[in-house]
Structures are given as structure tokens and as C-alpha cells.
Amino acid sequence: MQTINVVVLAAGKGTRMYSALPKVLHELAGRSLLQHVLDTAAQLSDCVTQIVIGHGAEQVREAVSSQKVNFVLQEQQLGTAHAVHQTLPRLDPQAIALVLYGDVPLVQASTLEKLLKATDENSMAVLTCLVANPAGLGRIVRDEKGEICAIVEDKDATPEQKKIREINTGMMAIPVQRLQQWLPRIKTNNAQGEYYLTDIVELALGDGCTVHTSLCSDEQEVAGINNRLQLAELERHYQQREAKKLLMAGVTLRDPDRFDLRGKLTVGHDVEIDINAILTGDVTLGSNVRIGANCELKNCQVGSGTIIAANSVIEDAVIGKNCSIGPFARIRPGTEMADEARVGNFVEIKKSKIGRHSKVNHLSYIGDSELGAEVNIGAGTITCNYDGANKFKTVLGDNVFIGSNTALVAPVTVASGATVGAGSVITRDVAEKQLAIARGRQTNFDGWVRPRKLPKNP
């Protein structure tokens, strides 16, 4: 197979977005529009990618600096043909150039592969689509034999041509050697006064080159984004598409229209997800996992049989099997919960290990800690892990019982089998099976009168 030189046009300002952020860096489903295109291009074999940048060039460079891509600066935006022309010195003369757009995020690799198959050293191919409303889009003009003979931009189209519903998506596959011949011959005799890449079709036909078309059946897949309304519409289309995939794979979504996937989701069988769940990054759910309403999961693994109750947040954590979390729990980065551990309502866990069968059920903060098995944390307990400058660790052995409203001042260790009385402030280690009580002596005062409200001024 020939080498593919992908050319991504990403130099536009995106005026109608009304934003200081370059259009291609606006996000859809948790990734920038440009990143969607790059991720799709990366699925093609033997591929080298050039990104044409212009407005917000440094922001775009920084956003994708970790990727294996090359950047080509288009200092003046003089049209699509001009943009592609800037890349010619970087392209392999023996390759096929695949022109993509940084603001067309949902095109699929399978669609592009089909387009590439229609191309060889003696032909080029144009990706087209039949749309309900072609206004503003370039039309595919065909001859009496049904062969493409031109692409006419909307502003240059005649009334008859404007009735055509087959549109040019802008995506093309062209032999680089042919690009080198045709691009310098493109003129600006059009309503916009720009160098149109679409003019390459007539040049190709004039040189006896075959021009193929590849039809995309999904209008949304090739839709470009020019404003925030279109961005929102494509976001919903993407989410509906992903929801449909999950439903067909056996996942129960209580309402597919109220589900958001902003990354990659791997699931076992019989998973249930309630409304308004947001899954971001790389999320893995084992079998029989149940996620309640309004939960957010980011870059986490959840073991089989675990139940996550409503309004809980889990981020960069590993959750074992048959755990119980929430409602209203927050599991922060670096947390590991062993099998059958429980974290209840209004509990925050940060960078801690919660042992098997251990329970943190109510109104507690556990940070920088290590809990053994069968530990019980009473309501209102906190680990004081920060002294204003440094973080310290709290270690609780197996079968430790911590009474309600306890403060564990790190660094501190409570050994296996020990008990801490409610309301204690623990600043020293507690040995195995000891009872620790650390609170002031109670004093009762007879005849004490509560403060009263002062009378209002007349």
C-alpha cells in the first residue's frame, strides 16, 4: 500500500465561534476538534501527518505537541488550495495526499479508507454526501453520464446548481505528484477571490486523470463546525452514536439522551448506567456494575459487582469488586479500594488505600492513608495529613475501630485491633488492641444562662 500523507487544514480563525480559542481547539466529547481528526488519521496505516496552522498557531502547536505530527505555517489565509500548497515541500512525491479538515471531527477511518481505495497514481477521489440542506456548501456537478465534471462553490453556483443535494465534503485523496502539477495552476477567479482546492477537479479532468467520488451516507459524519450551535448539534449526535453502540453491546442506559461519554469506555456484561452520567478519559467497568444518576467517572477502573450511588465522583482511582460508593462520595486521584470496601455519603477519599471489607460510611475525609482490612471509620472522622507545608501518612492496621468525630493527626499509626474513642484527637501511635481516648475533661456548670437577643431599637 502507498504511503499516506495526511494534510489537516487547521489555520482558520473561526470568527463565528466568538472566541479567543482557535476553532479547532474547541472540544467535542472531551477532545478538541483537531484531536478527533488526528486520532482518526492515526488509524490509517503507513501515515504521515502535516497540520497547516495559521490563526492561534502557537496554541495549536502546544495543544498537540506530544503527537507525531509536523506543522506548516500558512501566514496568509488565501484559500484551501493555498493551504495545501504550503505543505508540498514536506510531502512524499510517491505518496497519496489525504486532505482533511480540523473542524470536521466525526469522519470515520472506514470512510477515509474507502476514499483512499478509490485513488491511485492515475486518479484522485472526492468524498461527497447527500444532504437535506446544501445551502452554503459546494455542489458536485455531474455530466450526462453521471461522472463528476466540477465542484461549484455555493457563492459561485447558478440557481440550477444550487438545487443539487450532493455536496463536496472538502476531503480528497490525490497523488502528490499530481498535486505538484495542479496546485500552481489554480487561479482566484471566483466570488471569494481565493485559491479553491475544488478547482483541482477540472484541472485533473483536463489532464485526462480519472476523478472518482466516494459517497458518505451519514451527513453528520462529514459536517463541519463554524459556530457553537453546530458544535452542540454534533456533540449530541456523537453521544447518541456512542450510546447506541453501548446499548447494542448489552449496556443498560436508563435514558440514552442523558448520557455523555468523553473518552473510552470498556465494559463487562449487565452494566447499568442511570441518567446524567459523565464518563471521561479511560474508564473500565466490570460486569454487573451499577452507576447511579449524576455520577462522574474519570480515568478509573471499577470492579465487577460494584455499586456507585447517585451524585458520586471518581477520578484516577482503582475500585475493587463488590464495593459500595456514595451517594455524594468523592474518590480522588491515587485511591485504591480493595474488594467489598464501602465508602458512604459525603465522604472524600484522596490518595489512600482502603482495605477489604473496610467502611468509611459517613461525613469523613481520608487522605494520604492506608487502611487495612475490616477497618471501621466513624462518622465525622478526618485524617489531618497536611501541616501547612508537607503531607504525612496515616496508617490503620486490620480490624481498627475509629470512633465518630475523631481527628487522626499524621504521621500516625493505629495498629491492628486497636480502638479509638469518639471525639479523640490522636497525635501519637496506638499499639495493637489498645484503646486510645484523647479528649478534654468534661465540665458541667450549674445555673448557666444562654445569651439572649438584644431588644431592637424602637
Active-site residue list: 362
Residues 6+ apart with CB under 8 A from 130: 165, 166, 167, 215, 219
Burial of 299 (0-12, 13-18, 19+ CB in 10 A): middle
What separation in angstroms does the CA of 208 have from each of 117, 150, 172, 180, 409? 19, 14, 18, 16, 82
| Distance spanning both ends of the chain, measured CA to CA | 94
